[in-house]
């Protein structure tokens, strides 16, 4: 497979996935929680049960990281791929942020990146348990 990504991806360690609360809008007012598996400056790899979405569709997302983001941040994303994990009803999706201004996403990205960097360096001060 040819690598087409333009920037590096940063994996989210499983222990910290529970601290990043990402929800995607599935219905009129129905948001479904998903796991954030990795991040890049232009998008995310996410996973979730029963979250099969059409490639090319634009979805509304909400992300909240207690003690890192002061409030929930909302953004739109385009589904780039959606694959089912073998033998499960769990899907892996690649989503690309699509918003008029990158500034909010860049701020979120760097806060998530700093959060993970602190963990990797072993600094547990001010991080959720």
**pLDDT tens per residue across span 12-65:** 888 888 888 999 997 778 889 999 999 887 889 999 988 889 999 999 998 888
Tell me the two tokens of residue 10.
């940063």
What are 118's two structure tokens? 């602190």
**10-120 falls under which CATH superfamily?**
predicted glycosyltransferase like domains (2.40.10.220)
Q: Where are the domains of the chain?
A: 10-120
Q: Does position 128 have pLDDT exceeding 60, yes or no?
A: no
Q: pTM above the 0.85 mark? A: no
Neighbour-count burial for 42-80, b at 16+ CB within 10 Å, e otherwise: bbbbbbbeebebeeeeebebebebeebbeeebebbbebe
pLDDT value of residue 36: 92
pLDDT at residue 3 tops 60 = no
């Amino acid at each position: 497979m040819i690598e087409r990504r333009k920037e590096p991806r940063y994996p989210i360690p499983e222990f910290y996935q529970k601290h990043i609360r990402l929800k995607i809008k599935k219905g009129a007012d129905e948001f479904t929680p998903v796991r954030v598996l990795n991040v890049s400056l232009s998008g995310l790899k996410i996973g979730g049960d029963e979250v099969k979405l059409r490639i090319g569709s634009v979805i509304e997302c909400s992300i909240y990281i207690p003690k890192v983001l002061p409030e929930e941040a909302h953004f739109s994303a385009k589904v780039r791929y959606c694959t089912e994990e073998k033998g499960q009803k769990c899907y892996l999706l690649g989503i690309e942020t699509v918003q008029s201004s990158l500034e909010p996403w860049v701020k979120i990205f760097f806060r998530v990146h700093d959060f993970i960097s602190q963990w990797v360096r072993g600094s547990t001060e001010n991080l959720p348990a």
